[in-house]
Amino acid sequence: MAFTLSKETRIGWIGTGVMGVSMAGHLMDNGYTVSVFNRTKSKADSLVEKGATWRNTPREVAENSDVIFTIVGFPQDVEQVYFGENGIMSGVASGAMLVDMTTTAPSLAVRIYEAAQEKNVGSIDAPVSGGDVGAKNGTLSIMVGGDKEDVDAIMPLFEIMGKGIVYEGKAGSGQHTKMCNQITISGTMVGVCESLLYAQKAGLDLNTMLEAISGGAAGCWSLSNLAPRIVNRNFEPGFYVEHFVKDMELALAEARRMNLALPGLALVHQLYKAVEAQGYSKKGTQALTLALEHINNV
């Protein structure tokens, strides 16, 4: 599908949570006109005050936009936003472009793509990694699936929001890549939290220890960005525990479908279910430390 991006292109944005509000804001800062919708209207207030136009339903966003971005919570939210009553598919016009940046099931990305094709609408799955920090700084990693022509057409919009933008292949490929990302992070988070717990028990200065290991082979995004939050007892979300649990469950389901055994991922999933059971589902993923402290009576 031929699509031409210009400064007159109307942007729709659905999902103004921890990450979405910053991502949409960057597009506005670059001169794009934006229509917004969020299930909780107050979370879009800062964008409306900045000049975005509030729309009452996803359908209204679609009716008034040329490119519609979505970044919501769970697969059922994506289903509702696209296919529910007053959803995007009921209002999107021929020639428009859909971009789902939620982490969701690869099969759902393919379903959206196929429904879009029937309407002569482009569809891209483009989940992100980098948390609230990456969203605020415009440095997200974006994993992209869909038709290459469509991806190339809106690449300037991705470049406003991220730095590591990689085209992965056909529809659903972006979501599969995000599963790989989450599988890797799941194991990393256990290592980060357990290393801090060990250092505390050993009587080390936590900041000094982190300075030492961050420059070596252990260095990674989670160690640099989330370990300092743990040290400062800051468990507010850059990425919610409940969303991480959802991602791990998606990856485990895809692994079962492919007849893969991923015991490490299964273990981390159970640890994070313990975090949820302790009442921390709305905290950041670094709250895994709290569950490990509970297990060790620290």
Band of residue 8 on the pLDDT scale cut at 50, 70, 90: very high
pLDDT cut 90: percent of the chain above it = 96
Distances (CA, A) of 297 to 31, 197, 285, 289, 290: 53, 11, 20, 12, 10
Reply yes or no on whether the pLDDT at 18 is more than 70. yes
pLDDT digits (tens, 9 = 90+) for 50-70: 999 999 999 999 999 999 999
pLDDT digits (tens, 9 = 90+) for 259-283: 999 999 999 999 999 999 999 999 9
Is 3 contained in some domain? no
Reply yes or no on whether the pLDDT at 2 is more than 90. no
pLDDT digits (tens, 9 = 90+) for 147-198: 999 999 999 999 999 999 999 999 999 999 999 999 999 999 999 999 999 9
* Same-domain status, 33 and 160: yes
| The pair of three-digit structure tokens given for residue 161, joined into one six-digit string | 């929001």
* Same-domain status, 141 and 181: no
Contact 170, 117 (CB under 8 A): no
* Same-domain status, 163 and 181: no
In the chain, the amino acid numbered 59 is R
Give me the sign of the Cα torsion angle 95, 96, 101, 103: negative
Is 112 contained in some domain? yes
Give the 3-state secondary structure of 222-242: HHHHCHHHHHCCCCCCCCEHH
Q: What is the pLDDT of residue 47?
A: 98
Active site residue 43: no
Using alpha carbons, select from 174, 293, 151, 170 the residue that is nearest to residue 233.
293
Q: What is the pLDDT of residue 298?
A: 85
CATH number of 34's domain: 3.40.50.720
Contact 279, 251 (CB under 8 A): no
165 burial type by CB count under 10 A (0-12 exposed, 13-18 middle, 19+ buried): middle
| The pair of three-digit structure tokens given for residue 126, joined into one six-digit string | 């483009």
Q: What is the DSSP letter of 284?
A: B
Q: What is the pLDDT of residue 1?
A: 61
Using alpha carbons, select from 219, 223, 239 the residue that is nearest to residue 280.
239
Q: What is the pLDDT of residue 33?
A: 98
Report, as an integer, the average pLDDT of 25-45: 97
* Same-domain status, 183 and 287: yes
pLDDT digits (tens, 9 = 90+) for 80-105: 999 999 999 999 999 999 999 999 99
Domain end call among 170, 198, 222: 170
Name the active-site residue from 148, 163, 178, 201.
178
Instruction: Measure the CA–CA gap between 256 and 185, rounded to whole angstroms.
Output: 19
Q: What is the pLDDT of residue 98?
A: 98
* Same-domain status, 219 and 264: yes
Domain range spanning residue 101? 10-170
Reply yes or no on whether the pLDDT at 14 is more than 70. yes
* Same-domain status, 40 and 162: yes
Is 4 contained in some domain? no
Instruction: Measure the CA–CA gap between 228 and 226, rounded to whole angstroms.
Output: 6
Q: What is the pLDDT of residue 296?
A: 92
